[in-house]
């Protein structure tokens, strides 16, 4: 983030700092989201796949991210599933998928 403030590859793989802040606030505040989906308080979203699904780190009860695992939130089903064990694996999966 210090070098690029986001990464784009036909879509925003990793959002800018401003987008991370804005979108996380929206996920938590929008009434429609609160009525449709499980709470998002334990996730810190940082990017998307260009099709509506979002990627996030898990935030622990103390408000800190202790684990580098990355999860995918599927917007159609509200499923939250493990996607990668660290950022390097995340980028490898995302970039290989687009080829």
Cα separation, 27 vs 89, in Å, equals: 25
Is the confidence at residue 2, as pLDDT, over 70? no
- Does residue 2 sit within a domain? no
Tell me if 55 is assigned to some domain. Answer: yes
- The answer to whether residue 1 is domain-embedded is no
Q: Are 12 and 4 in contact (CB under 8 A)?
A: no
pLDDT digits (tens, 9 = 90+) for 60-95: 999 999 999 999 999 999 999 999 999 999 988 887
Using a 10 angstrom Cβ sphere, with 0-12 exposed, 13-18 middle and 19 or more buried, the burial of residue 82 is exposed
Q: Structural domain tally of the chain?
A: 1
Question: Which pTM value belongs to this model?
Answer: 0.85
SS3 72: strand
């Amino acid at each position: 983030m210090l070098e690029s403030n986001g990464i784009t590859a036909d879509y925003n793989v990793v959002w800018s700092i401003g987008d991370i802040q804005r979108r996380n606030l929206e996920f938590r505040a929008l009434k429609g989201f609160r009525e449709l989906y499980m709470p998002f308080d334990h996730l810190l979203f940082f990017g998307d796949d260009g099709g509506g699904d979002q990627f996030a780190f898990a935030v622990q009860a103390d408000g800190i991210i202790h684990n580098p695992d990355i999860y995918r939130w599927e917007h159609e089903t509200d499923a939250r599933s493990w996607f990668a064990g660290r950022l390097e694996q995340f980028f490898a999966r995302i970039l290989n998928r687009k080829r």
